[in-house]
Amino acid sequence: MDRQALKARAGAAMIGALSIAIMLTSCASSPKTTYRADSGEAVTVDWAAYPGHAGMDAGDVLRAPPAEETRAVSARILGEIEARLSDEFALAWEDGPTDGHVGEGEFYPQEGNGYGGRSLYVTFNSAARESLSIPSRAEDWNRIVEIITDVTQAHGLGSLKLDSLDSERAAENAERSGSENPDEQWQWFGTANGDSQWVAVSLINIDRDESGKAAGEIGVETGWNARSINISYGATTVGIGDRDAFLKRIEPYEGLTRPDATTSD
């Protein structure tokens, strides 16, 4: 799997219910929801004005650190992972290739809200950090996952879930990673998620690859290490300067169920 694809996106569904009757209608441009307030007044909201996004729970996003703090949070979490792994496995680390991007990470505004309007969300993706080597034993790989989980759980991101070990995609994973036995696969990858933050992880050892395809797949020719642990951090959040506007704009939607997205942004 391409390393940039490991930077997962987070989203969840968690909205409290209001004691109101809700009727969802839609039009060509954006869906609308009509409900009856406690006062008896019928209220209609147009989701084109929703300041968040159809695919993400606003509560999760508001619990994430503000955009201005994400670089510091990223450095703290990734630095702790590096320190723990270095202490146990005597690893050295370096920045991964930036592919022309800013070395300390970049921000990407979420321009659309999924309903044809503008979102106030912004996503931060850190630069990748990678070790210069990786232990070869299967038990060491499992220990690496345990250590990373210890750190991510301590920071509220939950445990590291390995997509590459998903039993429902076993055949696909075996074909891509060279073996049905996870202990013999040349690549593990996954994410730890929480409050619209995530840590993406990949473990790579092309010495386990008998096909000779792994080096090309992971981008060794562009500077990625062939035997390494790769970690990065990301978050979708709101900037400090936009928070008050976000809270004001989202107030009419509190307690309403978000409709499915009507646009692809």
Q: In which residue are the tokens 């709101």 written?
A: 238
- What is the model's pLDDT at position 6? 45
- Count of domains observed in the chain: 1
Q: Tell me what pLDDT residue 103 has.
A: 62
Residue 252 lies in a domain: no
Question: What is the total residue count of the chain?
Answer: 265
* Confidence (pLDDT) at 167: 67
In a domain, 229, yes or no: yes
Question: Torsion angle of alpha carbons 4, 174, 224, 91, nearest 10°?
Answer: 110
Is the full-model pTM beyond 0.85? no
Say which CATH number the domain at 133 has. Answer: 3.30.2030
Q: Which domain holds residue 98?
A: 3-11+62-240
Spatial CB neighbours of 18, under 8 Å, sequence gap ≥ 6: 35, 254, 255, 256
Mean pLDDT calculated for residue range 140-153? 98
Is the pLDDT score of 216 beyond 70? yes
Please check whether residue 82 lies inside any domain of the structure: yes
What are 90's strand-pairing partners?
A: none
Which distant-in-sequence residues (6+ apart) come within 8 Å of 102 by Cβ?
127
Residue 245 lies in a domain: no
C-alpha torsion angle, residues 48, 49, 51, 57 (rounded to 10): -60
In a domain, 57, yes or no: no
Residue 219 included in any domain: yes
pLDDT more than 90, % of the chain: 66
User: What is the rounded distance in angstroms from the CA atom of residue 104 to the CA atom of residue 177?
Assistant: 30
In-domain check, residue 121: yes
Between residues 20 and 180, which one has the greater pLDDT?
A: 180
Query: How much is the pLDDT for 75?
Result: 96
For 68-115, write each residue's pLDDT tens digit.
999 999 999 999 999 999 999 999 999 998 765 556 789 999 989 999
Q: What is the average pLDDT across 168-191?
A: 77
